[in-house]
Amino acid sequence: MEALAKMTSDELSKKISKGKYMLFFSATWCSDCSFIKPSMPEIEKEYTEYHFLAVDRDENIDLAADLSVFGIPSFIAFDDGKEVGRFVNKDRKTKKQVEEFIDGLAS
**Residue 65 has what pLDDT?**
92
The correct CATH number of 2-105 out of 3.40.50.620, 3.40.30.10, 3.40.50.1970, 3.10.129.10 is 3.40.30.10
**Residue 18 has what pLDDT?**
95
Can you give the residue ranges of every domain in the chain?
A: 2-105
Block mean pLDDT (10 aa), the chain, length 107: 88 93 94 91 94 94 92 93 89 89 85
Do residues 43 and 95 touch, judged by C-beta distance below 8 A? yes
Predicted TM-score (pTM) of this structure: 0.90
**Residue 107 has what pLDDT?**
56
Catalytic (active-site) positions: 30, 33
**Residue 70 has what pLDDT?**
86
DSSP sequence for 71-104: SSSEEEEEETTEEEEEEESSS---HHHHHHHHHH
